């Protein structure tokens, strides 16, 4: 199907179905029930799931396949956002040109930054990309935001003002980002008994793009190009002595992943027409690295899982406060309850970053292959148990036979 083999096609269909049904799947608990706090079916959260999914899928094409660890991909995300907001300011609120420009801008910057950074490999490459990202952040935060030349609007962030030209804007169109007139904020809410499900047009725009990008990444993984990238990670010297020039391959991977990041940035701006420099900070670069390795670098589905996992728990953890904790641990005796709340307290609410850092370390130390590998390991344990049973029988049979011979 679609030029994919059976296994990939199945994976693709699963992702397709999960994404399309997300409004149902992410709101499993009825409104007003105590478990409703674990629901994740809000439009803006679902949008973040798929947008960061796109970001991580792209990052994985570089890191997962070639092993080149970039610490500066947030820069492309930010550039994409700025590009999109500029389209909103100057041309139109239609998201199509905005997204196109953000991909192009990020791609061009990735070409330049990649060309320079990829002259080095290993840690040098990581440091160079980190330096570029910090430089982009400094540029966006202050350098390119002075009265003479204000490209980024500094600390406040770039946004659309009512006196912006918007040359192609028509009065009949919504006064917010839209897809040919369909506002990204328009939401159809379905109520069934206690349940509510939000179907948001912005989410479905992002979801459609993510599915397309996921499909593209499968094709890249299975292509000769993808194979060359894996070969670079495995043994770059052999690749060079096999007559292949690794430099353009890594550069192409870098630019492609930069364009994915730009696309994600453009979509972020399309869902909420605002671009700030903090999107380019090293923490944001670190986050996409974590999403990718948490899910499983080099696997197809891993980055999507990782992005969903992190964005979901970010949302849940940030919402929890001590009152909620007291509810959770109410079944314990009073002293124990307070103790548990005290222990958990640093990790919730504003402590989400601490949890994130710990998670980062735990994954790198114990599960370098990420959730996908973890799942496979669990799967293997179960299968081995089956095999052990049959293996024991075979052994017994052999022993029965031996004396007779």
Partner 1 sequence: MDAILLQILNGLDKGSAYALIALGLTLIFGTLGVVNFAHGALFMVGAFCAIFLQRLLGTSFEIIDETQKDFLGNPLKVQAPYIEYWFGKDIGASIIDWSVPLAILLTIPVMLVIGYVMERGLIRHFYKRPHADQILVTFGLAIVLQEIIKYFYGANPIQAPEPSAFKGSVDLGMMLGFQANAIVYPIWRLVYFAFSVVIIAGVFAFLQFTTFGMVVRAGMVDRETVGMLGINIDKRFTIMFGIAAAVAGLAGVMYAPINAPNYHMGMDFLVLSFVVVVVGGMGSLPGAVLAGFLLGILESAASTTWATTTIPGINQIIIYLVAIIVLLTRPRGLMGRKGVMED
Partner 2 sequence: MGILEVKGVNKRFGGLKALSDVNLSVRENTVHAIIGPNGAGKSTLLNCLVGKLIPDTGSVMFDGQSVLGRKPHEINQMGISRVFQTPEIFGDLTVMENILIPCFARRDGAFRLHAFENFAHEKDLVEKAEAILVDVNMIDKRNMHSASMSRGDKRRLEMAMCLVQEPKLLLLDEPTAGMARADTNNTIDLLRDIKSKRDITMCIIEHDMHVVFSLADRITVLAQGTPLVEDEPENIKGNPKVQEAYLGEAAH
DSSP 217-284: HHHHHHSHHHHHHHHHHHHHHHHHHTT--HHHHHHHHHHHHHHHHHHHHHHHHHHS-EE-GGGGSHHH
In the complex, the smallest distance separating the C-beta of residue 319 from partner 2, rounded to whole angstroms, is: 41
**Distance in angstroms between the alpha carbons of the first and the last residue of the chain:** 54
Nearer to partner 2, 237 or 323 (CB): 237
Q: Which listed option, partner 2, partner 1, none, makes contact with residue 366 (CB within 5 to 8 Å by class)?
A: none
333 binds, among partner 2, partner 1, none (CB under 5 to 8 A by kind): none
Taking the least distance from each CB to partner 2, the nearer of 173 and 244 is: 244
Residue 361 site contact among partner 2, partner 1, none (CB < 5 to 8 Å, cut-off depends on kind): partner 1
Please state the three-class secondary structure of 283-324 as a single string: HHHHHHHHHHHHHCCCCCCHHHHHHHHHHHHHHHHHHCCHHH
CB of 57 to partner 2, least distance (A): 14
Identify which of residues 240 and 318 has a Cβ nearer to partner 2 in the complex. Answer: 240
| C-alpha to C-alpha distance for 212 and 1, rounded to whole angstroms | 15
CA 107 to chain centroid? 18
Q: Which is nearer to partner 1, 54 or 69 (CB)?
A: 69
**Closer to partner 2 by Cβ: residue 281 or 292:** 292
If the CB atoms of residues 303 and 308 are measured against partner 2, the closer one turns out to be: 303
Between 24 and 225, CB nearer to partner 2? 225
Query: Where do contacts with partner 1 occur on this chain (CB under 8 A)?
Result: 63, 67, 69, 71, 116, 119-124, 126-128, 130-132, 134-135, 138-139, 142-144, 146, 148-149, 282-283, 286, 289, 293, 346, 351, 353-354, 356-361, 364-365, 368
Cβ neighbours for 320, distance < 8 A, ≥ 6 positions apart: 37, 348, 349
Least separation in angstroms between residue 376's CB and partner 2 is 14
CB of 230 to partner 2, least distance (A): 6
What's the Rg (C-alpha) of the chain? 24
User: What is the Cα–Cα distance from 405 to 402, expressed in whole angstroms?
Assistant: 5
Nearest to partner 2 of 246, 315 (CB atom): 246
DSSP line for 87-111:
HHHHT-SBHHHHHHHHHHHHHHHHH
- The one of partner 1, partner 2, none whose footprint includes residue 146, by CB under 5 to 8 A per kind, is partner 1
CB of 143 vs partner 1, minimal distance in Å: 3
Helix residue spans in 329-369 (DSSP H): 334-344, 352-366
| Packed helices 122-138 and 95-117: angle between N→C axes, nearest 10 degrees | 130
Task: Give the whole-angstrom CA distance, residue 100 versus residue 8.
Answer: 28
Question: Residue 242's binding partner, choosing from partner 1, partner 2, none, with beta-carbon cut-off 5 to 8 A by kind?
Answer: partner 2
28 binds, among partner 1, partner 2, none (CB under 5 to 8 A by kind): none
Residue 354 contact among partner 2, partner 1, none, beta carbon within 5 to 8 Å by kind: partner 1
What's the CA angle centered on 342, arms 339 and 347, to 5 degrees?
135
Under 8 Å CB-to-CB from 14, ≥6 apart: which residues?
A: none
CB of 340 to partner 1, least distance (A): 17
Minimum Å distance from CB 138 to partner 1?
4
Binding-site ranges for partner 2 (CB under 8 A): 3, 5, 219-220, 222-228, 230-231, 233-235, 237-246, 248-249, 252, 256
Asked if 329 and 341 count as a contact pair (C-beta separation under 8 A), the reply is yes
CB 354 → partner 1: shortest distance, Å?
Answer: 4
Residue owning tokens 């997962």: 64
Do residues 131 and 109 lie in contact, with contact meaning Cβ atoms separated by under 8 Å?
A: no
């Amino acid at each position: 199907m679609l030029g994919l083999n059976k296994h990939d096609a199945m994976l693709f269909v699963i992702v397709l179905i999960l994404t399309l049904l997300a409004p149902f799947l992410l709101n499993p608990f009825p409104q007003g029930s105590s478990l409703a706090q674990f629901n994740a079916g809000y439009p803006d959260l679902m949008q973040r799931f798929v947008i960061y999914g796109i970001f991580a899928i792209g990052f994985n094409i570089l890191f997962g396949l070639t092993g080149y660890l970039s610490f500066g991909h947030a820069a492309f995300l930010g550039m994409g956002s700025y590009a999109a907001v500029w389209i909103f300011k100057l041309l139109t609120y239609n998201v199509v040109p905005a997204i196109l420009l953000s991909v192009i801008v990020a791609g061009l910057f990735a070409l330049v930054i990649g060309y320079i950074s990829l002259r080095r490999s290993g840690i040098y490459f990581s440091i160079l990309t980190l330096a570029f990202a910090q430089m982009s952040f400094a540029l966006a935060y202050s350098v390119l935001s002075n009265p003479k030349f204000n490209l980024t609007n500094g600390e406040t962030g770039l946004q659309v003002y009512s006196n912006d030209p918007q040359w192609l804007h028509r009065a009949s169109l919504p006064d917010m980002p839209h897809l040919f007139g369909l506002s990204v904020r328009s939401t159809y809410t379905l109520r069934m008994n206690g349940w509510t499900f939000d179907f948001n047009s912005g989410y479905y725009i992002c979801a459609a793009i993510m599915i397309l990008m996921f499909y593209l990444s499968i094709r890249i993984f299975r292509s000769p190009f993808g194979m060359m990238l894996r070969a670079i990670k495995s043994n770059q010297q052999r690749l060079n002595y096999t007559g292949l020039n690794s430099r353009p391959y890594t550069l192409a991977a870098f630019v492609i992943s930069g364009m994915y990041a730009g696309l994600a940035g453009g979509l972020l701006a399309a869902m909420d027409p605002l671009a700030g420099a903090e999107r380019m900070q090293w923490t944001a670069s670190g986050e996409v690295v974590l999403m990718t390795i948490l899910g499983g670098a080099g696997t197809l589905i891993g980055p999507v899982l990782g992005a969903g996992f992190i964005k979901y728990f970010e949302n849940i953890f940030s919402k929890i406060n001590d009152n909620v904790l007291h509810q959770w641990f109410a079944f314990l005796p009073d002293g124990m309850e307070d103790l548990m709340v005290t222990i958990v307290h640093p990790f919730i609410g504003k402590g989400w970053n601490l949890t994130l850092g710990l998670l980062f370390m735990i994954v790198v130390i114990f599960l370098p292959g990420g959730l996908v590998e973890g799942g496979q390991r669990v799967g293997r344990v179960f299968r081995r148990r089956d095999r052990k049973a049959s293996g024991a029988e075979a052994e017994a049979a052999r022993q029965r036979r031996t004396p007779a011979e």
